[in-house]
Amino acid sequence: MFEGKRTRFEALVRAYSAELYRYAYWLCRDRFGAEDLLQETFARAWGNLSALRDEHAAKSWLYTILRNEHARLFERMRLPIADDEDLDSLADSRLGNVHDALEMREALHALPPGYREPLLLQVLGGFTCDEIASMMELSSGAVMTRLSRARLVLRRQPGLADGAEAAA
């Protein structure tokens, strides 16, 4: 009985360890953390191997265990608290420079709709030129031309050269 469980478990480790390690590394951004997370995942999987009834579900089962183990790391983690820090003196950096954001918004609204729409679809929507062309019923070349012209117009706006480069 034990030998069958061991063989089954070793097959799972061989089949999924590299893939699970890549995912763990992506979660942790640290080689050693990913290795520890993978070890904890397989230790929990070994203990609960009898719960795995369908071999076809093994991959998703292991990924679920890995995600749960990663969440447990944060449950146990204690963040340092600085009691002497004055909270009113901390600046909120999430907003960035409000003035620059307003200037960029005004410049985007000043763009002709034919230039603004493909630029926003690419920058905010993350669509490719081909996807934008399909949505707007244009050729890919026309979309690329409109994107370059929109960026050129934004670069020529006074005070927007830096922000336009970042947005485009």
- Report yes or no: 107 and 119 within 8 Å, Cβ to Cβ: no
Dihedral sign for Cα atoms in the order 93, 98, 100, 101:
positive
- Report yes or no: 121 and 127 within 8 Å, Cβ to Cβ: yes
Give residue-wise pLDDT tens across range 98-123: 777 788 888 888 888 889 889 988 88
Residue type for 50, please? S
Among the CATH numbers 3.90.1150.10, 3.40.50.2000, 1.10.10.10, 3.30.70.380, which is that of 98-167? 1.10.10.10
Q: What's CA 113's distance to the chain center, in Å?
A: 30
**Given this structure, which CATH class describes domain 2-76?**
mainly alpha
d(CA 136, CA 114): 10
- Report yes or no: 56 and 84 within 8 Å, Cβ to Cβ: no
Give residue-wise pLDDT tens across range 20-61: 999 999 888 889 999 999 999 999 998 988 888 887 788 888
Residue type for 134, please? S
Which residues belong to CATH 1.10.10.10 in the chain? 98-167
Burial of 13 (0-12, 13-18, 19+ CB in 10 A): middle
Which residues belong to CATH 1.10.1740.10 in the chain? 2-76
The whole-model pTM stands at 0.46
